[in-house]
């Protein structure tokens, strides 16, 4: 039986070489750079993406196994159908490539007042309030 695979856009600590990449690394089957439309905010030690806002956010599309998706859900404290998730896992399309998959996002009201990462890149972050 073939293993199920999922495309997930990551933009912060799950990026290759970042602090939490080891959580998903055993389950990654492919990595592709990408961008999605939205704005990146700083929550301190990690970022939050709000979709539908002006700008582009740089990241990577990870192709992961079902176990990898579960590991990311656990890290992001996400449970389907729960009302108090910190992040929501939704479907998104890449801004420039024919790639789509899941991404963990913040709701706009939760990001209100957080510093904006104006570069759109966690790796090149400079915050402005």
Which helix H or strand E contains 70, and what residues bound it?
helix 66-75
Closest among 96, 99, 102, 120 to 47, alpha carbons compared: 120
What pLDDT shows up at residue 129? Answer: 47
One of 3.20.20.70, 3.40.50.620, 3.10.300.10, 3.10.490.10 is the CATH number of 5-128, namely 3.10.490.10
46 falls in which pLDDT band (50, 70, 90)? very high
Enumerate residues 6+ apart whose C-beta is below 8 A from 126.
Answer: 117, 118, 119
What pLDDT shows up at residue 126? Answer: 65
3-state helix, strand, coil in the chain (%, to 5): 15, 45, 40
- At 70-95, the pLDDT tens digits run 999 999 999 998 989 999 999 999 99
Residues with catalytic roles: 76
57 falls in which pLDDT band (50, 70, 90)? very high
Domain map of the chain by residue range? 5-128
114 and 41 Cβ atoms separated by less than 8 Å = yes
């Amino acid at each position: 039986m073939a293993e199920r695979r999922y495309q997930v856009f990551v933009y912060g600590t799950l990026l290759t070489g970042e602090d939490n990449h080891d959580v998903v690394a055993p389950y990654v089957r492919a990595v592709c750079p990408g961008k999605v439309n939205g704005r990146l905010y700083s929550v301190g030690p990690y970022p939050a993406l709000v979709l539908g806002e002006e700008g582009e956010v740089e990241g990577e599309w990870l192709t992961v196994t079902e176990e990898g998706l579960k590991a990311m859900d656990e890290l992001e404290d996400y449970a389907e159908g729960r009302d108090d998730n910190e992040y929501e896992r939704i479907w998104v399309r890449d801004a420039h490539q024919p790639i789509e998959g899941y991404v963990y996002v913040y709701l706009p009201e939760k990001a209100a007042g957080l510093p904006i990462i104006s570069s759109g890149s966690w790796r090149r972050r400079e915050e402005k309030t």
